[in-house]
Each structure stands twice: as C-alpha cells, then as structure tokens.
Amino acid sequence: MEILENEELGKHSTFKIGGPAKYYAIPSSVDEVKEAIEYAKDKNLPYLIIGKGSNILFHDRGYDGVVIEIGSKMQIIERIDDLNIRAEAGTSLSALSNYAANASLAGLEFAAGIPGTVGGGVTMNAGAYGGEIVDCIQSATVLDKDGNVRVLQVNELDLSYRSSIIQKEDYIVLDATFQLIPGDENDIRATMRDYNGRRRDKQPLEYASAGSTFKRPKDNFAGKLIEDAGLKGYSVGDAQVSEKHCGFVVNKGNATYSDVKAVIEHVQKVVKEQFDVELETEVKIV
C-alpha cells in the first residue's frame, strides 16, 4: 500500500483547513487497514481514521502520526438480497442513497445530501430530515483494538444522537449492511431532490465548512440560540458564524484552525452567559 508523507490535511477536509499528516494511508482492504495500523505501531505513532473529513477540524500544525483514510479505495456496494444492501465503509452516503433509489428501495433518502462516508455516517449516526442511520442499518463489520473483525448488530452499535459505540470503543467501521423497504424510484428521487433543495436554500454550501458545528442542545436549536445571542456573522479572521445558517461556522477563504477555534469558543461562552446552555461541538477537533 502506498503511504504518502507530509500530506496536506486541508485537501482531505471539507473545512479546507489543516497542515500536513506525517503519513497518510489509503487502504483498499481490511488487510491494508491492519497494515496501516501496524505501520503506525512500528513507528510508535498514533493513528487517526477518517472518511471524507466532513466532520473534522484539523490543526494547522497537521497530525504527527498516520492518518488512515477509509474512503476512495473502499467503496464497493452490493445488494445482498431483496431488501438488504451492504456497502464498504468508504462509500459516500450519496452514492449509497443513489444505489438504493436505483434498486427502488426506500429508507436512505435522508442521507443523499450528507457529504460523508458510510463509515463516518455510522460513527456519527448521521441524520437529517427526520431520518438517521440507526433507522435503516442492520449491522456493521468493525475492527476492534485487538485486531479482531467483528459483526455488530444494530442494537450492539449503541446508536443515538450523533453518538455510537464506534466512538466509545475506537472501533473501525469496515462495512455496513442496511435493511430497506420497497418503494417507488420516482417517489424516492423526489424526496431526495426535496431534501437537497432544502439544504441549498438553508445551508451556506457556497463556503467550506464541516456542517453543523454544534450538537443540538436539549429542547433547542444551536443555530437559533446563536442567532438570538446576536452572533450572526461573528468572525475571527476568515472563520465566521454563517449569515445564512448560524449553526454553521464557515471558512470564507483562508481561515486557520485557530480562527475557527476562537469563533467556536466565543459562541460557547456567549450562549452560556446569555441562555445558560452549554453548546457541545459536533465537529471532531483533532
């Protein structure tokens, strides 16, 4: 497997921020994932698994270890029977939704516009427009810390709002199987178009970002609290609370890690002071 050196992480993050990873591996199989981990262990370095980097803020200093992308080289999707589809962890969620639509299978329409991978989606229990991974996943194959490949059923994945056993146990998602329901391709595609249209209307897709920066606090919305706190458009350098959707911190051009971090911390402080609500980041800060 080719392992790149000093690979700029900004190229692998939808925020377009991040310095070089000392090593960057793109495995194409389970064996190569294991090989990349061994490589890190041999060099006494930490490793970090990423998918499409659509929920990560990398540091400008980069990552002094091995970044392992389970993405572009692990994208096989297969229909395993009438209602079940299995996808390798690097498959994009939009490709998975499209595959299901082509097969006239409903249940994954919500994922059509989420710019991550199946692996990242399972890890984050990604969701939108009333749907979540937990609603349609049947099982996932994972690699545990001892190097064992295990199949976890949906109840064992411990999926809840933006949380999963994958995060708690540092499992690595290798593939996932989804159980869908028969549907009409035209209806499925109409729903996908509707959701994507709503995204374009509401979200600042013209700027680099990592989607919603903060988790939804109990009985409230992060974007609303931030707007009510008067923070719409608040910026440090090129990092800004989006004027279109206050739940997004966007990179207007050359924002650095520190700019984004400063905006996040200011927002957290002001929202806490004004509303006594602790905003927790949804974005993973590396």
Ligand X SMILES: Cc1cc2nc3c(=O)[nH]c(=O)nc-3n(C[C@H](O)[C@H](O)[C@H](O)COP(=O)(O)OP(=O)(O)OC[C@H]3O[C@@H](n4cnc5c(N)ncnc54)[C@H](O)[C@@H]3O)c2cc1C
From 126-134, 144-152, 233-241, 269-277, span contacting ligand X (CB under 6 A)? 126-134
Q: Pick between residue 203 and residue 256 the one whose CB is nearest to ligand X.
A: 203
Does residue 128 touch ligand X according to CB under 6 A?
A: yes
Q: In this structure, is the dihedral angle defined by the CA atoms of residues 49, 76, 121 and 195, taken in order, positive or negative?
A: positive
Q: Please indicate whether residue 79 is annotated as part of the active site.
A: no
Does residue 26 touch ligand X according to CB under 6 A?
A: no
Does residue 247 touch ligand X according to CB under 6 A?
A: no
Q: Please indicate whether residue 212 is annotated as part of the active site.
A: yes
Q: What is the DSSP letter of 154?
A: G
Give strand pairing partners of 72. none
Does residue 284 touch ligand X according to CB under 6 A?
A: yes
Q: Please indicate whether residue 273 is annotated as part of the active site.
A: no
Does residue 119 touch ligand X according to CB under 6 A?
A: yes
Residue of 10, 27, 62, 120 interacting with ligand X (CB under 6 A): 120
Does residue 172 touch ligand X according to CB under 6 A?
A: yes
Pairing of strands 239-241, 235-236: antiparallel
Q: Please identify which of the residues 7, 69, 97, 162 carries the catalytic annotation.
A: 162
Tokens of 150: 């295990």
Angle (nearest 5°) at CA 30 between 25 and 32: 35
Question: Tokens 């690595």 map to which residue?
Answer: 172
Does residue 40 touch ligand X according to CB under 6 A?
A: no
Residue of 25, 54, 141, 277 interacting with ligand X (CB under 6 A): 54
Question: Tokens 């002094």 map to which residue?
Answer: 64
Q: Enumerate binding residues for ligand X (CB under 6 A).
A: 14, 49-56, 70, 89, 114-117, 119-121, 123-124, 126-128, 166, 172-173, 203, 205, 209-211, 284
